[in-house]
Structures are given as C-alpha cells and as structure tokens.
Amino acid sequence: MSARNEFPRRPVPAVGAIVFRDGAVLLVKRGAEPNKGRWSLPGGALEIGETVEAAGVRETLEETAVDVRSVGVFDVRDFIQLEGTKVRWHYVLIDVLCEHIGGEPFPGTDAENARFVPLRELGEYDVAPTALEVLEAASVARIAADESINP
C-alpha cells in the first residue's frame, strides 16, 4: 500500500494474507506508510481486474517470497486514519486465509522484514492493531476448527 493512496477520493480495496505455518503466522514489517515500521499481514491494494484471492497470493509472493494458495475470505475491516478533518488513509481490508505452499520469508517490495512469527511471541512485536485483531480472530477460528475435527 503506497503513498499513492494517501488522501484518497474514495475507499481503496486492499487485501491482507493470513498465512499460518505450524504455530506461527507470516508477518511483514512495513517499509512504507501507513503503519511504516510496524508488523502486519502481507498485503496491499488490489489491481484492476484482479480477484481478492489472486491479490492475496500475489502480494504474499511480492512482499515475502513465500508461495501460498488462497483458501478464502476470512474477514473484512476498515482502516481509516484522519489527519485533522481529512481522511489520510481509507482501506477496506479484505483478509484472505491462505495455505503455505513453500518458501522461506525474504522481504521484498515495500517490506523491511518478513518472517514467520510464533503466535506465542506476537506480544513482543509492534503489530498494527487491525492486523492483531484479525490474527486473534483467525487463531480462535483455527483452534475451534481443529477441535471440531479432532474432538
């Protein structure tokens, strides 16, 4: 998500990829605003003619060099940040659950860093609040799904 979307005339559709591997989740350290320097889900603005699922796969590969397969949309949230009375950023964040296919994280495009962060260590990272909310919900859903499969 680049500065080209700063002070938008309308909300910008964007995707975030939720990628679990064992007891960890894939995160990137943002190299650009919004949330520069904070950890978040790999993702960015959709391109014209691109599906949400394809955007999640593309953004994950571009930002982390990790190959994933989209499982489906998990969550939709707004990220709205004001500067005075003007909307500086407004993204409609469509978070897609993805399956890890292969590759080890290596930062690319606008990411300063990329890694699989153990879920038990999330509190040690400066994770963007919206991403943290989605990760908490996805973790709860993942545990519930596992418990229903393995009672």
Q: Is the distance from CB of 38 to CB of 29 less than 8 angstroms?
A: yes
Residue 84: C-alpha distances to residues 7, 81, 98, 100 (Å): 12, 10, 37, 41
Question: What integer is the mean pLDDT of 142-147?
Answer: 74
Q: Is the distance from CB of 34 to CB of 81 less than 8 angstroms?
A: yes
Instruction: Report CA Rg, the chain.
Output: 15
Cβ-Cβ contacts under 8 Å for 118 (sequence gap 6 or more): 23, 24
| Tokens 């060099």 sit on residue | 65
Q: Where are the domains of the chain?
A: 3-149
Give the C-alpha separation, 127 to 70, whole Å: 23
- Give the pLDDT score at 145: 75
52 sits in which H/E element: helix 52-64
Give the C-alpha separation, 74 to 17, whole Å: 10
pLDDT in tens, 96-133: 999 999 999 999 978 999 999 999 999 999 999 999 99
pLDDT in tens, 28-46: 999 988 999 999 999 999 9
Query: Is CATH 3.40.1030.10 correct for 3-149?
Result: no
DSSP 107: -
111 sits in which H/E element: strand 111-118
pLDDT in tens, 46-105: 999 999 999 999 999 999 999 999 999 999 999 999 999 999 999 999 999 999 999 999
User: Residue type for 125, please?
Assistant: Y
